[in-house]
Amino acid sequence: MTRLLEKAIPAFAWVCGATLLGAIGSVLGYLLLKGLHTIDLALVFGDTDPVAALLLERRVFNGLFPAMVGTVSLVVLSVGFAVPIGVTAGIYLAEYAEGGAKRFFNLLFDVLAGLPSIVIGLVGFSVAVFLNRHLSGRLQPCLLVSSIALAFLVLPYVIRTTQVALENLPAQSRMTALALGANRLQNLFRVLLPQSLPGLLSGIILAIGRCAEDTAVIMLTGVVASAGVPRSLLSHYEALPFYIYYVSSQYADQRELATGYGASILLLLICLLLFCLAFVIRKGVTYRALYRA
């Protein structure tokens, strides 16, 4: 019976892996089949000259360039807000928190991770409305509010991945630098954090993907269908997830629906580029840490 289980478990794992890869391949293949023929400059820039659009000299009315800029801006801002706070909180939980305080914060962040995104979007909208009333109309649902709401959405994932990455380091790694005379902060920044970078990167990648795909939060906190390229943090903006939702629910013909598939492909490409950037940053930070060591 034991031998049978030893053979069955790896076989079941391979079947699950193959099923997952098949499902992902099917989705990607369907998107490429439906939307690849729409990918061209006209889809991105419409009738506007690409150079003039990139230099922000002319506004793009019938292309996805504003939505692409809005998506990248939203993801970068949200991750920029979430990562420093999340990594710091994860370090505290892994290295400093003890007893009841650790249990309390673990429970709190688990509850936050389970909150529906629509609830966070509603909270962001309510806060924006409240501040708008008390700041004489200076703040309204905008790019800044959306990015802060999304940062709050992904914060528990960053905290948890940081905490787990640090707690799973072997005891030998923790004690070597201390035995050689390093203090606790030196051990943390020169030894523990560089060795836990793969786990930290997992949290950042999860945050990037979550921010790029979420629609419920941004629908309530500042995204509109035709805002153009965002001029400031306090302006409305466009985003590819909202465009995909809007087109898929209210398309007029098959050609317009095909642009929704094309927008999905562009969104995947943007996420891929951001993931690659995260890997490059990880390599650079790891190299510097090893060089200093």
Q: What are the domain boundaries of the chain?
A: 39-292
Rounded to an integer, the average pLDDT of 263-291 is 78
DSSP state of 39: -
List CB contacts of 117: < 8 A, sequence separation 6 or more.
153, 214, 216, 217
The C-alpha atoms of residue 233 and residue 240 are separated, in whole angstroms, by 18
pLDDT (tens digit per residue) in 129-172: 887 777 766 677 888 889 999 999 999 989 989 988 888 888 77
Q: Name the nearest CA neighbour of 71 among 281, 278, 263.
A: 263
Rounded to an integer, the average pLDDT of 268-286 is 80
The C-alpha atoms of residue 106 and residue 272 are separated, in whole angstroms, by 31
Of residues 137 and 27, which shows the higher confidence score? 27
Specify the pLDDT at position 1.
Answer: 61
Write the DSSP assignment of 201-249 as a string of letters. Answer: HHHHHHHHHHHHH--HHHHHHTB-SS--S--STTS-B--HHHHHHHHHH
List CB contacts of 72: < 8 A, sequence separation 6 or more.
270, 274
Q: Look up the pTM and report it.
A: 0.84
Rounded to the nearest 10°, the torsion over CA 12, 15, 17, 18 is: 170
Specify the pLDDT at position 114.
Answer: 84
Specify the pLDDT at position 289.
Answer: 56
Name the one residue in this structure whose structure tokens are 């009315």. Answer: 61
The C-alpha atoms of residue 25 and residue 17 are separated, in whole angstroms, by 12
Using alpha carbons only, what angle is made at residue 12 by residues 10 and 13, rounded to the nearest 5 degrees?
Answer: 60
Instruction: Give the number of other CB atoms < 10 A from CB of residue 49.
Output: 13
CATH number of 39-292: 1.10.3720.10
pLDDT (tens digit per residue) in 228-252: 888 888 888 889 998 888 888 888 7
Are 48 and 59 in contact by the 8 Å Cβ rule? The answer is yes
pLDDT (tens digit per residue) in 177-220: 777 777 777 778 777 888 888 778 888 888 888 888 888 888 88
In angstroms, how far is CA 206 from the centroid of its own chain?
Answer: 6
